């Protein structure tokens, strides 16, 4: 028992050595403190700045400081500053800077305290909590900056806060503030702050007040809030996900870069907002929706650059101009509406809108443009919608506007623009497809199936329009590159043949088709020295209900039916043409760009084909008595009306005898010069 008593006595003596209570008179604390190793101190009576300086300089191990019963009196020294540059320290104020950076972890402030002086508790990293008395009216600049406080609730009595008062408080997670002006940089860099409650007294959020508050995702404001100003840089980099700007019914202005890089998800601004600073929502990666109030006349530079705005975006009706880079790289906007009052779009204002699909342009006077307004946008794939065709023509005449796919109202099929659809339109589109210049001619109206290409499928569709008496008024939608359609093995071919210089010959163009077609077109290319006789094209019995024609350049042939009748049969000649050799001919006739279409205007693409044409290859005339001998594709071709024996002699003296049946006989031989003896005549040919 005696041992236990002695142990308790030792503990109590140790506590009394480190937990000290001093009844002080201002300026006397140093003389009254005999043990400077104490960790806990309670002061009563009065104190001034000299006593606080003594605590900071000499009581380096002090953790707990209770000043609840202290009256702080003023102190001034005109000769030299007591701390830093401070000569004067007001009464009822925790003195400026004197406890800055101290190790205290707990402080109880005087009940009558009116002010926390400049940087009075700044850098007190161990100070986790501080209870502010109801008497407090002023918190000086940097008062608690860099301290270890974890939460702060300002009493209603506080009317003024100084700059950076709570800046860089690494552990501060929640704050409740009800003061008229939240000062510049008040919570600058307070990265852990996640909950903020703003009282109804708050009218102004100062410059950079919550800059760098990256965790700040819950901002609570009441319905009776009176926030009028969000100053420049106020929420740069802050999360701010839960900040509903639409609730700020009294908000008048948003400063430059106010929400730059913030996590704001919506910026549906109240109608009270009349001013927005440049870059206000610059690179806000979560900002998907925004609504500008009617009072905004200029969208400032960089306002929404790099935001995540998506879908449809419309400027307010009062907007007259859009600044440089205002919507730069807003790559998710699909529809952008420009109101009638807009007269200018700044440089790079809409550059990078890679998903843009439609621009609705209401101005009747084409807005002026800065440099590279639509850079990075495939404008030909974007529809530009205007009020009427006359205004559309104005946009079509201006650089950076004319590159859009400009929409116009038109009557589908009114190719010649006479207000009706009839056979004259059919003739006009046929002439155009054949390569002739047709005036007038409306390309939009002629593209009847809206595939961006005018060809036989459009002719077929127009014939159907005429037959049915159909009239459709359509606003031209965005054109797209014509699909190749279905690839088919059906084809257009010409048999290989020979022709001598100066000779004219009729050849057949064959159609092999498993499917039923009502129209076709293809391009035909003749080898040098061979030409089509003008006007010589005609149809066969397979196309008895079809019209066949050729372009004036003789490089395109087409056929169609005014009644959409199918081409009869499945193989054999469908067209005949005459060709004339103006010189010796050696080469291919190529047939390409083959298009078939059904009565329902389905498109099918045929495969290119080639026909070998051979002409005179030796010095002799190779045609006698209707016999012909010529070279083709490494062979000698013999054509004779009746069967006959033929001898083929090479220049090396070797020879072979063959029996040429009536018609055509083909003999493969090595390349070289040969003499062919047939029916008593000799033919000299060169095989390549």
The answer, yes or no, to whether residue 30 has pLDDT greater than 60, is: yes
Q: 431 phi and psi, to 5 degrees? A: -60, -40
Average pLDDT, the chain: 89
The three-state (H, E, C) secondary structure of 344-409, written as one string: EECCCCCCCCCCCCEEEECCCCCCEECCCCCCCCCHHHCEEECCCHHHHHHHCCCCCCCCCEECCE
Confidence of residue 196 (pLDDT cuts 50, 70, 90): very high
The three-state (H, E, C) secondary structure of 117-154, written as one string: CCCCCCCCCCCCEEECCCCCCEECCCCCCCCCCCEEEC
Name 97's Cβ contacts closer than 8 Å, sequence gap at least 6.
83, 84, 86, 117, 118, 119, 120, 122
> Radius of gyration of the chain from Cα atoms?
47
Which pLDDT does position 584 carry in this prediction? 86
Which pLDDT does position 14 carry in this prediction? 42
Stretch (H or E) spanning 589: strand 586-597
Question: Which overall architecture, per CATH, does domain 486-614 show?
Answer: Sandwich (2.60)
Greater pLDDT, 641 or 317: 317
- Residue 281, preceding peptide bond in cis (omega within 30° of 0): no
Could you tell me the CATH superfamily of domain 17-163? Ribonuclease Inhibitor (3.80.10.10)
Q: Residue 355's CB: how many other CB atoms inside 10 A?
A: 14
Q: Select 623-687's CATH number: 2.60.40, 1.10.10, 2.30.29, 1.10.30.
A: 2.60.40
Instruction: Give CA–CA dist 490/687, Å, rounded.
Output: 32
Nearest Cα residue to 221 out of 248, 252, 184:
248
Which pLDDT does position 625 carry in this prediction? 61
Average pLDDT in the 384-396 region? 92
- Condensed to tens digits (0 to 9), the pLDDT of residues 38-63 reads 999 999 999 999 999 999 999 999 99
Which pLDDT does position 533 carry in this prediction? 94
Confidence of residue 484 (pLDDT cuts 50, 70, 90): low
The answer, yes or no, to whether residue 618 has pLDDT greater than 60, is: no
The answer, yes or no, to whether residue 369 has pLDDT greater than 80, is: yes
**8 A C-beta contact, residue 189 and residue 166:** no
Range from 118-132, 467-481, 618-632 that averages highest in pLDDT: 118-132
Instruction: Give CA–CA dist 259/269, Å, rounded.
Output: 13
Average pLDDT in the 317-342 region? 96
The answer, yes or no, to whether residue 624 has pLDDT greater than 90, is: no
Nearest Cα residue to 476 out of 567, 389, 368, 575:
389
Instruction: Give CA–CA dist 491/489, Å, rounded.
Output: 6
Whole-model pTM: value is 0.65
CA distances (Å), origin 71, targets 24, 55, 314, 401: 10, 16, 62, 75
Range from 32-36, 78-82, 380-384, 398-402 that averages highest in pLDDT: 398-402
**8 A C-beta contact, residue 536 and residue 577:** yes
* Poorest-pLDDT segment among 153-162, 570-579, 664-673: 664-673
The answer, yes or no, to whether residue 161 has pLDDT greater than 50, is: yes
Which pLDDT does position 619 carry in this prediction? 36
Instruction: Give CA–CA dist 459/578, Å, rounded.
Output: 26
Nearest Cα residue to 479 out of 455, 448, 436:
448
Confidence of residue 389 (pLDDT cuts 50, 70, 90): confident
The three-state (H, E, C) secondary structure of 173-189, written as one string: CEEEECCCEECCCCCCC
Q: Is 255 helix (H, G, I), strand (E, B) or coil?
A: coil
- Condensed to tens digits (0 to 9), the pLDDT of residues 264-287 reads 999 999 999 999 999 999 999 999
Tell me the DSSP string of 270-335: -TT--EE-TTTTTT-TT--EEE--TT--EE-TTTTTT---EEEEE--TT--EE-TTTTTT-TEEEE
Query: Is the fold of 486-614 the same as that of 623-687?
Result: yes
State the pairing for strand pair 383-385/358-361: parallel
Nearest Cα residue to 579 out of 612, 534, 632:
534
Burial letters for 392-411: b for 16+ Cβ neighbours within 10 Å, e otherwise? Answer: bebbbeeebbebbbbbbebb
Confidence of residue 666 (pLDDT cuts 50, 70, 90): confident
**8 A C-beta contact, residue 679 and residue 625:** yes
Of the chain, the percentage scoring pLDDT greater than 70 comes to 93
- Condensed to tens digits (0 to 9), the pLDDT of residues 210-225 reads 999 999 999 999 899 9
Name 427's Cβ contacts closer than 8 Å, sequence gap at least 6.
none
The answer, yes or no, to whether residue 623 has pLDDT greater than 70, is: no
Structure tokens at 46: 């009065």
Q: 103 phi and psi, to 5 degrees? A: -90, 5
Greater pLDDT, 57 or 587: 57
Which pLDDT does position 40 carry in this prediction? 95
The three-point CA angle 362-365-371 to 5° equals 95
Which pLDDT does position 688 carry in this prediction? 65
Name 407's Cβ contacts closer than 8 Å, sequence gap at least 6.
383, 384, 385, 386, 392, 475, 476, 477
Which pLDDT does position 76 carry in this prediction? 92
Instruction: Give CA–CA dist 330/312, Å, rounded.
Output: 12
Q: Which residues pair with 21 in a beta bridge?
A: 42
**8 A C-beta contact, residue 643 and residue 661:** yes
Which pLDDT does position 179 carry in this prediction? 96
Instruction: Give CA–CA dist 388/495, Å, rounded.
Output: 54
Of the chain, the percentage scoring pLDDT greater than 90 comes to 63
Confidence of residue 241 (pLDDT cuts 50, 70, 90): confident
Stretch (H or E) spanning 573: strand 573-581
Q: Residue 253's CB: how many other CB atoms inside 10 A?
A: 18
Helical packing angle, 456-468 and 423-433, nearest 10°: 180
- Condensed to tens digits (0 to 9), the pLDDT of residues 122-136 reads 999 999 999 999 999
The answer, yes or no, to whether residue 205 has pLDDT greater than 70, is: yes
Average pLDDT in the 134-161 region? 96
Which pLDDT does position 267 carry in this prediction? 95
Confidence of residue 651 (pLDDT cuts 50, 70, 90): low
Greater pLDDT, 83 or 535: 535
The answer, yes or no, to whether residue 85 has pLDDT greater than 90, is: no
Which pLDDT does position 615 carry in this prediction? 67
Q: Is 8 helix (H, G, I), strand (E, B) or coil?
A: helix
* Poorest-pLDDT segment among 27-36, 221-230, 595-604: 595-604
* Poorest-pLDDT segment among 18-27, 369-378, 620-629: 620-629
Tell me the DSSP string of 511-563: EE-SS--SEEEEEEEPPTTEEEPTT--EE-GGGTT-EEEE-TTS-EEEEE-TT
Instruction: Give CA–CA dist 678/656, Å, rounded.
Output: 13
Q: Which residues pair with 636 in a beta bridge?
A: 631, 667
Greater pLDDT, 518 or 681: 518
The three-point CA angle 41-42-46 to 5° equals 120
Which pLDDT does position 601 carry in this prediction? 75
Which pLDDT does position 466 carry in this prediction? 82
Which pLDDT does position 18 carry in this prediction? 55
DSSP letter assigned to residue 245 = G
Fold classification of 424-475 is: Type 1 dockerin domain (1.10.1330)
The answer, yes or no, to whether residue 517 has pLDDT greater than 90, is: yes
Nearest Cα residue to 184 out of 100, 263, 255:
255
Which pLDDT does position 17 carry in this prediction? 43
Average pLDDT in the 150-174 region? 97
Average pLDDT in the 240-248 region? 90
DSSP letter assigned to residue 653 = S
Which pLDDT does position 263 carry in this prediction? 94
Average pLDDT in the 647-658 region? 80
- Condensed to tens digits (0 to 9), the pLDDT of residues 525-584 reads 999 889 999 999 999 999 999 999 888 888 899 899 888 899 999 999 999 999 999 988
User: Can you give the residue ranges of every domain in the chain?
Assistant: 17-163, 424-475, 486-614, 623-687
Q: Is 247 helix (H, G, I), strand (E, B) or coil?
A: helix
CA 18 to chain centre: 68
DSSP letter assigned to residue 613 = E
Confidence of residue 143 (pLDDT cuts 50, 70, 90): very high
The answer, yes or no, to whether residue 7 has pLDDT greater than 80, is: no
Average pLDDT in the 610-618 region? 69
Q: 366 phi and psi, to 5 degrees? A: -60, 120
Which pLDDT does position 450 carry in this prediction? 79
Instruction: Give CA–CA dist 605/612, Å, rounded.
Output: 23
Nearest Cα residue to 127 out of 64, 37, 188:
64
Q: Residue 62's CB: how many other CB atoms inside 10 A?
A: 23
Greater pLDDT, 143 or 77: 143
Q: Torsion over CA of 29, 31, 35 and 41, rounded to 10 degrees?
A: -10
């Amino acid at each position: 028992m005696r041992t236990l008593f002695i142990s308790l006595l030792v503990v109590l003596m140790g506590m009394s050595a480190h937990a000290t209570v001093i009844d002080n008179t201002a300026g006397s604390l140093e003389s009254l403190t005999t043990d400077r190793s104490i960790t806990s101190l309670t002061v009563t009576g009065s104190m001034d700045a000299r006593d606080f300086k003594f605590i900071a300089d000499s009581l380096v191990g002090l953790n707990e400081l209770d000043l609840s019963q202290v009256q702080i009196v003023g102190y001034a020294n005109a000769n030299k500053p007591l701390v830093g540059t401070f000569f004067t320290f007001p009464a009822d104020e925790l003195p400026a800077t004197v406890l800055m950076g101290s190790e205290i972890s707990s402080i109880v402030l005087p009940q009558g305290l009116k002010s926390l002086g400049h940087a009075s508790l700044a850098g007190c990293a161990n100070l986790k909590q501080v209870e502010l008395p109801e008497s407090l009216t002023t918190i000086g600049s940097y008062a608690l900056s860099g301290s270890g406080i974890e939460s702060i609730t300002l009493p209603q009595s506080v009317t003024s806060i100084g700059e950076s008062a709570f800046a860089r408080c690494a552990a501060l997670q929640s704050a409740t503030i009800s003061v008229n002006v939240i000062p510049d940089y008040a919570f600058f860099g307070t990265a852990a702050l996640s909950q903020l409650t703003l009282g109804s007294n708050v009218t102004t959020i100062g410059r950079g007040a919550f800059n760098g508050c990256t965790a700040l995702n819950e901002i609570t404001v009441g319905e009776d809030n009176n926030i009028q100003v969000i100053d420049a840089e106020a929420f740069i980099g802050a999360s701010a996900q839960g900040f509903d700007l639409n609730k700020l019914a009294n908000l008048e202005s948003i400063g430059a870069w106010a929400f730059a890089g913030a996590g704001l998800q919506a910026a549906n601004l109240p109608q009270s907002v009349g001013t927005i600073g440049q870059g206000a929502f610059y690179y806000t990666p979560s900002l998907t929706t925004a609504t500008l109030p009617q009072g905004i006349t200029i969208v400032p530079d960089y306002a929404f650059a790099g935001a995540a705005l998506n879908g449809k975006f419309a400027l307010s009706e009062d907007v007259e101009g859009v600044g440089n880079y205002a919507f730069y790289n807003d790559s998710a906007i699909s529809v952008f509406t420009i109101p009638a009052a807009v007269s200018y779009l700044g440089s790079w204002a809409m550059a990078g809108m890679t998903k843009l699909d439609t621009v609705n342009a209401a101005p009747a006077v084409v807005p002026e443009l800065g440099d590279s307004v639509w850079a990075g946008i495939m404008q030909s794939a974007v529809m530009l919608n205007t009020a009427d065709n006359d205004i559309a023509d104005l946009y079509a005449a201006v650089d950076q506007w004319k590159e859009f796919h400009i929409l116009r109202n038109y009557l589908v099929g009114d190719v010649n623009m006479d207000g009706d659809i009839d056979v004259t339109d059919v003739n006009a589109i046929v002439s155009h497809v054949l390569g002739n210049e047709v005036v007038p001619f409306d390309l939009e109206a002629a593209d009847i199936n809206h595939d961006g290409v005018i060809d036989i499928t459009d002719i077929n569709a127009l014939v159907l329009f005429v037959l049915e008496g159909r009239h459709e008024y359509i606003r031209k939608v965005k054109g797209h590159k014509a699909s190749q359609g279905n690839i088919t093995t059906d084809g257009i071919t010409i048999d290989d043949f020979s022709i001598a210089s100066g000779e004219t010959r009729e050849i057949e163009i064959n159609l092999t088709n498993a499917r039923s077609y009502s129209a076709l077109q293809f391009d035909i290319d003749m080898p040098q020295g061979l030409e089509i006789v003008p006007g010589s094209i005609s149809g066969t019995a397979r196309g008895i209900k079809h019209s066949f024609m050729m372009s004036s350049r003789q490089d395109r042939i087409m056929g169609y039916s005014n009644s959409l009748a199918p081409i009869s049969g499945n193989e054999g000649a469908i067209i005949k043409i005459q060709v004339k050799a103006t010189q010796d001919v050696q080469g291919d006739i190529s047939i390409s760009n083959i298009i078939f279409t059904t009565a329902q205007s389905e498109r099918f693409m045929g495969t290119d084909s080639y026909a070998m044409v051979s002409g005179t290859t030796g010095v002799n005339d190779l045609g006698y008595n209707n016999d012909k001998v010529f070279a083709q594709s490494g062979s000698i071709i013999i054509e004779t009306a009746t069967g006959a024996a033929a001898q083929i002699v090479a220049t090396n003296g070797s020879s072979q005898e063959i029996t040429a049946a009536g018609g055509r006989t083909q003999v493969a031989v090595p390349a070289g010069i040969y003499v062919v003896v047939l029916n008593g005549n000799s033919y000299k040919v060169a095989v390549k």
